[in-house]
Structure 1
Amino acid sequence: MEYKWMIREKADSEAVKTLSKEINVNSILANMLVNRDVDTFQKAKDFFRPDLDKLHDPMLMQDMDKAVERLERSIENNEKILVYGDYDVDGTTSVAMMYGYLSQIYDKVDFYIPDRYKEGYGISEKGVRFAAENGYSLIVSLDCGIKAIEKVKLGKELGVDFIICDHHTPGEELPPAVAILDPKRKDCKYPYKELSGCGVGFKLVQAMAAKRGEDSSKVMGYLDLLAISIAADIVPITGENRIFAFYGIERINNNPRPGIKALMLRSRIEKELEISDIVFKIGPRINASGRLEHAKASVELLISKDLEDALARAEIVDTVNAARKNFDENITKEALSMIESMEIEKKTTVLFKEDWHKGVIGIVASRCIEKYYRPTIILTESNNKATGSARSVFDFDIYEAISECSDLLEQFGGHKYAAGLTMSVDKVPAFQKKFEEVVSSRISDIHMKPVLEIDDEILLDQVNYKFYNILKQMAPFGPGNPEPIFCLKQVFAENVRILKDKHLRFNVVQDGIDTKPICIAFGMADKTIFPDEIIYKMLLRKMRFDLAFEIRENTFRNNSTLQLYVKDIKFD
């Protein structure tokens, strides 16, 4: 995939100069921070030293008082409580957290995860009826429910109240729940709007603990689950989420709960865990059971109190994840073949095949975007309906585009970059046509090519440990605080080698500078730049190029060096 490089504009020079002096960093670092809206000494202090005391009061969230009151009344009246969550990572971590907390203070609590294939996304009729038939008078829903108007009405008819904890965008009408906790509500004045579903649930746990006079350390024990939800659900790691992620990852690295420890061992994570490890190793394993079988297995793993038991459960989840990879690869090949056979050039990809596995279509949509960069929806048949997952491209709001097609849909939900939708099978052709029209009218050329955002151009001798050690303190990285990417101009390569038939390793050289760090270019050994020209051969000929990269530390046999992880190479 060819990237368009976008080097960030230089921040206000006076602001950069002032910040550089106040916090004693060079102008490159100060410029990066100002571009991340860290432009004062106090903001820099908050950024580099996240503080749990800076968390917002949970009672600022609309309906929080009602939620706490209803939970307390349930406990006083000896009612049965059902914790209900979605089957993805955000949902299962939310359920593990809420069930873990409530079951410590009350013994009439259980949890429920809907079956992806039999019930679909969100609150299901089957789930509501299960609660009523089994004597549950209160459902606490997590990471779902904000649009479940009819299901919540059914609950009221059957004597089941709802407390909804969600972070998705509400519709015009809200469900008739006892309490709806969602910072994206128009009438909610909670200061931070980008919480994960688990984050909203955490605020309820915070409020409950405060009401009961419990030590806050008890609540902070759930930050590990919250950090996993933040990373896996790809919410911005800014503001309150940055504090949660910072301390959650610290907890995972120092004292992981048995379920997370087991997942780390299965994932062969032997260094300090980072956000990227959650995104690419931990998250997919937690997700796997809900994609192919039932997400209850993931919750049971996360709430396990014994490492031996957790290891056995993690092995099962790992086996399911391996099967998921096979489905993912095979369906992706089919989908790409379908796109290649299309004769008309389009701004969108909307594919439907009735026998594709519902559990991996979101992954397949992302894979298709890697090859054909445009808003993509992959649909399959489930319960006699066409159901699908949508993924977007840089800075294009796919949720809004889908909303414009709502007259053809039975259900949809999500956010700017990812969404889910359901429609009648016979509506698929009409949806394909209308979605293409809507996107074509909204999307611009800048959206149709992947953008590589580069923080700054630097010189090779500026890559040193003093510089790197400050970069490390900017973690955790993610949306809103991306891992820094730099570029070098007009360099060439020495000692070029191919690793494992697919990766490149070389030393990068810049005129007049002695240091020649090692570069690792994953998957670029056979990458073609021009017709019949691959990167490997061009590097061997010492052709000049511009290099975009991240700085990483590599440790081998107790010897640590800085390496450049290549993001892209552009030749003259």
Structure 2
Amino acid sequence: MKDKQLINSSSTKVPDQRWQIAIADADLATQIAQETDLSPLMAQVLINRRLTTLAQVQAFLSPESQYLSSPLADFPDLPLSLELLINAINTRQKIAICGDYDADGMTSTALLLRALRSLGAQVDYAIPSRMAEGYGINKRIIDEFYEEGVRLLITVDNGIAAYDPIAHARELGITVIITDHHDLPPLLPPAHAILNPKMIAETSPYRGVAGVGVAYILARALAQSMGSSSDLTDSLLELFTLGTIADLAPLTGVNRRWVKQGLQVLAKSRLAGVQALIQVSGLSNEKNLKPEAIGFRLGPRINAVGRIADPQVVIELLITDDEGVALERAMQCEQINQQRQKLCEEIEQEAIALCESGKGANQPFNIQDNWVFLVVHPDWHHGVIGIVASRLVERYGVPVFIGTYEDETRQHIRGSARSIPEFNVFEALEFCKDLLDKHGGHRAAGGFSFKAENLEALRSRLRTFAHQTLAPEYLKPLVIVDVEATLAQVDFSLHSQLEALHPCGMENPDPVFWSANVRIHEQKKIGKGHLKVTLSQDEGLGQLAKKITAIAWRWGDFYPLPSRMDIAYRLRTNEWNGEVSLELELVGGRSSSAASERTEFVYGDRCYACRLVELDTGKEIRIRNPEGKVLIVQQGQRIGQLTHVSTEPMEVDVCQPPYFALIKSALEALGIGKEQNEKMTG
């Protein structure tokens, strides 16, 4: 599309987002850049990750060079677990594994099966039914294991909250080892041994491992104790890497170290199932697998099976050495994932329609009135509604609770919740617990069930909780931005430096840059609701920089974009016909006059919101803190006002700490130039 067409279009719009821009520390960034020979942009990204010394930066960029303590010292019950397992293997006792139906649980199950069988154990497994039984080990599974002669039971990715089932196993004389990573209940189950990173020191590098990480630690220690070869260790590392990334575990500590190693062996996998999965996922030509390839290509094909089909398909895929069986199971994963994608698209569109029409919700959904979204439909699949909830959070920027009926009687509803950073799902469910049958989760996500007759009461209660804990400015999708860059700075040299940050993922996200007043030359819709644009940025003296391509996933609703805008983006490479080019992945957009609109920033580990207002008497900056206090300062004035709805306004000297530095940080977040900054701060 031509520029003239864009300029004349009255229907242009940008995403309705809130930007949280990290405050730049130019002096420290320059110092780190000089000490490490890195770009100041890269240095600022490292500062944003709380890496502020040369030693911290070096440890992060080269995790394999750091000392790693023995897990035998960090996990108190690990020595006992090894003793119990070695004794069971040597005496030919039957061992059983109880796993879970998500990617973490399935890879954990496969990992331990491979390890134990290679070490000579008699071992089988079971995974509870997602639809009929729900999460975690239960009495039925234990009774069946007992009847089959099982005398040692290992849970993976579950068990820490299963007091009654574990007590039942103990009564039957079964030895129980729990391996789990979920939060600790008030009363721990009476297992013989428990391996859970929540029970070890917070300073331990193993603190952030997922369920597959605990299984890997146990299996690796067992293999070492029994003198196993490195071939087994490599195959276990592949499954650890697959499960850790697919489960969105934090890529810090030992996870970062092992995933970095695992990605190298995963691309050249010796496991027939992983090879087949890579083949059907279209990744066969990838020389180096990155976390996003696993997170968006391999992980969904594994997770889809656990969501809507039989997890046994994935277990067989990951434990078989038969290439024919592996390809057959990989094709099943592919077909199931296509079905999952179709279900998600259908449910998402139906949920949007319900939301915006008001059917089933008494009235059309109004963000400003409700602040939280609860939608229920009888025909949705339990296994995928959590994915849809995440998409609705992305679309509306509010917490989403989504449910469907458990059976044809429509008397009970089961659901999933996903949230925004400022809304704690678990606390919300606790606030509503008298209306719920069961609930659980954490800050960002949760699950729940309740009687259908309580639907409207629950909707009202959630709305009350949202109004008590949120503020209106939180009700927009959040874009967290690292640092401003000009498009001239975006080159292969910067991209090469950013590679050192990998593996990126949870708690170590891909860097997000922003550029001001970018010119959109061409734009078109591609695929299912995506945009492809060509853009550039003025370099001075009226000259235009070279053009660069950008992809904006799920931005079809914003077509056409305005001819000029501020953009937030990640840096990517694209290979086509043997040529590699740089491109941007757009994650945020705002009008180029957004300096006068609301912007979020972090100062002193706290999140603030600021806005620049044009008045007849000059410019005025308004800064709001998390408690709702607002600092109002007019340009050139030394005295400002500190206001709050519950108190009288108070005059403060903005040239004194902490106000002066706070105002300066706010102006930097708004993108105000140095000259204007000096005028505002006197």
> Counterpart of 1:321?
337
Whether 1:388 and 2:418 are equivalent positions in the alignment is: no
> Counterpart of 2:531?
503
Residue 422 of structure 1, CA deviation: 3.4
> Counterpart of 1:301?
317
Residue 161 of structure 1, CA deviation: 2.8
Q: Distance in 1 between matches of 2:269 and 2:66?
A: 21
Does the 8 Å CA contact 1:224/1:252 hold for their aligned counterparts? yes
Whether 1:264 and 2:278 are equivalent positions in the alignment is: yes
Higher mean C-alpha displacement, 207-216 vs 262-271: 207-216
> Counterpart of 2:612?
none
TM-score by length of 1: 0.91
Whether 1:559 and 2:559 are equivalent positions in the alignment is: no
> Counterpart of 1:367?
391
Structure 1 residues 307 and 55: alpha-carbon distance in aligned structure 2, compared to 1, 3 A threshold:
farther
Residue 434 of structure 1, CA deviation: 3.2
> Counterpart of 2:667?
none
Whether 1:519 and 2:549 are equivalent positions in the alignment is: yes
Q: Distance in 1 between matches of 2:501 and 2:104?
A: 24
Does the 8 Å CA contact 2:375/2:402 hold for their aligned counterparts? yes
> Counterpart of 1:464?
491
Query: Amino acid of the residue matched to residue 500 of structure 2?
Result: Q
State the identity %. Answer: 31
Residue 404 of structure 1, CA deviation: 3.6
> Counterpart of 2:184?
170
SS in 1 for 2:207: coil
Residue 256 of structure 1, CA deviation: 5.0
SS in 1 for 2:293: helix
Does the 8 Å CA contact 2:395/2:477 hold for their aligned counterparts? no
**Equivalent of residue 71 in structure 1, options 64, 85, 88:** 85
Does the 8 Å CA contact 1:17/1:30 hold for their aligned counterparts? yes
Residue 178 of structure 1, CA deviation: 1.2
> Counterpart of 1:225?
239
Matches within 5 A, 1:473-488: 473-488=500-515
Query: Amino acid of the residue matched to residue 142 of structure 1?
Result: V
Q: Distance in 2 between matches of 1:104 and 1:169?
A: 31
Query: Amino acid of the residue matched to residue 372 of structure 1?
Result: Y
1:376-434: per-residue Cα shift (whole Å, max 9, x none)? Answer: 22222337753222211135331233234344444433332222233444554444443
Structure 1 residues 455 and 188: alpha-carbon distance in aligned structure 2, compared to 1, 3 A threshold:
closer
> Counterpart of 1:84?
98
RMSD: 2.5
Whether 1:57 and 2:70 are equivalent positions in the alignment is: yes
Whether 1:20 and 2:33 are equivalent positions in the alignment is: yes
Q: Distance in 1 between matches of 2:479 and 2:289?
A: 25
> Counterpart of 1:234?
248
1:107-143: per-residue Cα shift (whole Å, max 9, x none)? Answer: 3101111111122111122211211121112221111
> Counterpart of 2:443?
416
1:91-120: per-residue Cα shift (whole Å, max 9, x none)? Answer: 101101111101111231011111111221
> Counterpart of 2:428?
401
1:266-297: per-residue Cα shift (whole Å, max 9, x none)? Answer: 11123232212222221111112222221111
Residue 197 of structure 1, CA deviation: 0.9
Structure 1 residues 353 and 560: alpha-carbon distance in aligned structure 2, compared to 1, 3 A threshold:
closer
Residue 24 of structure 1, CA deviation: 1.0
Query: Amino acid of the residue matched to residue 98 of structure 2?
Result: Y
Q: Distance in 1 between matches of 2:546 and 2:474?
A: 36
Whether 1:197 and 2:211 are equivalent positions in the alignment is: yes
1:301-353: per-residue Cα shift (whole Å, max 9, x none)? Answer: 11121333211111112111112222222222232222220326312222333
Matches within 5 A, 1:102-117: 102-117=116-131
Does the 8 Å CA contact 1:141/1:164 hold for their aligned counterparts? yes
Whether 1:376 and 2:390 are equivalent positions in the alignment is: no
SS in 2 for 1:365: helix
Structure 1 residues 419 and 161: alpha-carbon distance in aligned structure 2, compared to 1, 3 A threshold:
farther
SS in 2 for 1:492: strand
Q: Distance in 1 between matches of 2:339 and 2:28?
A: 52
Query: Amino acid of the residue matched to residue 364 of structure 1?
Result: V
Residue 523 of structure 1, CA deviation: 4.8
Structure 1 residues 393 and 265: alpha-carbon distance in aligned structure 2, compared to 1, 3 A threshold:
same
Does the 8 Å CA contact 1:140/1:163 hold for their aligned counterparts? yes
**Equivalent of residue 438 in structure 1, options 453, 462, 465:** 465
Q: Distance in 1 between matches of 2:243 and 2:22?
A: 29
Q: Distance in 2 between matches of 1:103 and 1:403?
A: 43
Unaligned runs of 5+ in 1: 529-533
Does the 8 Å CA contact 1:227/1:248 hold for their aligned counterparts? yes
1:181-239: per-residue Cα shift (whole Å, max 9, x none)? Answer: 11113788744422111011111123323333445663243122112222221121111
Structure 1 residues 412 and 165: alpha-carbon distance in aligned structure 2, compared to 1, 3 A threshold:
farther
Does the 8 Å CA contact 1:61/1:190 hold for their aligned counterparts? no
SS in 2 for 1:493: strand
> Counterpart of 2:220?
206
> Counterpart of 1:531?
none
Does the 8 Å CA contact 2:525/2:556 hold for their aligned counterparts? no
Q: Which structure has the bigger radius of gyration?
A: 2
> Counterpart of 2:679?
none
Query: Amino acid of the residue matched to residue 273 of structure 1?
Result: L
> Counterpart of 2:57?
44
Q: Distance in 2 between matches of 1:69 and 1:395?
A: 45
Query: Amino acid of the residue matched to residue 151 of structure 1?
Result: P
Does the 8 Å CA contact 1:131/1:160 hold for their aligned counterparts? no
Does the 8 Å CA contact 1:149/1:174 hold for their aligned counterparts? yes
**Equivalent of residue 350 in structure 1, options 367, 370, 374:** 374
Q: Distance in 2 between matches of 1:133 and 1:319?
A: 35
Residue 525 of structure 1, CA deviation: 7.1
1:357-394: per-residue Cα shift (whole Å, max 9, x none)? Answer: 11111112112223322222222233775322221113
Unaligned runs of 5+ in 2: 1-14, 593-682
Matches within 5 A, 1:536-555: 536=561, 538-539=562-563, 544-555=564-575
> Counterpart of 1:453?
480
SS in 2 for 1:358: coil
Does the 8 Å CA contact 2:520/2:533 hold for their aligned counterparts? no
Structure 1 residues 234 and 315: alpha-carbon distance in aligned structure 2, compared to 1, 3 A threshold:
same
Q: Distance in 2 between matches of 1:467 and 1:285?
A: 33
> Counterpart of 1:35?
48
Query: Amino acid of the residue matched to residue 317 of structure 2?
Result: L
Structure 1 residues 428 and 98: alpha-carbon distance in aligned structure 2, compared to 1, 3 A threshold:
farther
Query: Amino acid of the residue matched to residue 43 of structure 1?
Result: Q
Residue 568 of structure 1, CA deviation: 2.6
Residue 456 of structure 1, CA deviation: 0.9
Structure 1 residues 273 and 497: alpha-carbon distance in aligned structure 2, compared to 1, 3 A threshold:
same
Whether 1:180 and 2:180 are equivalent positions in the alignment is: no
Higher mean C-alpha displacement, 21-30 vs 45-54: 45-54
Q: Distance in 2 between matches of 1:248 and 1:143?
A: 20
Higher mean C-alpha displacement, 144-153 vs 49-58: 49-58
Query: Amino acid of the residue matched to residue 303 of structure 1?
Result: I
TM-score by length of 2: 0.77
Q: Which structure has more RCO (C-alpha within 8 Å, separation ≥ 6)? A: 2
Query: Amino acid of the residue matched to residue 235 of structure 2?
Result: G
Does the 8 Å CA contact 2:536/2:544 hold for their aligned counterparts? no
Q: Distance in 1 between matches of 2:68 and 2:429?
A: 34
Structure 1 residues 502 and 19: alpha-carbon distance in aligned structure 2, compared to 1, 3 A threshold:
closer
Q: Distance in 2 between matches of 1:403 and 1:80?
A: 41
Count of aligned positions: 561
Whether 1:9 and 2:23 are equivalent positions in the alignment is: yes
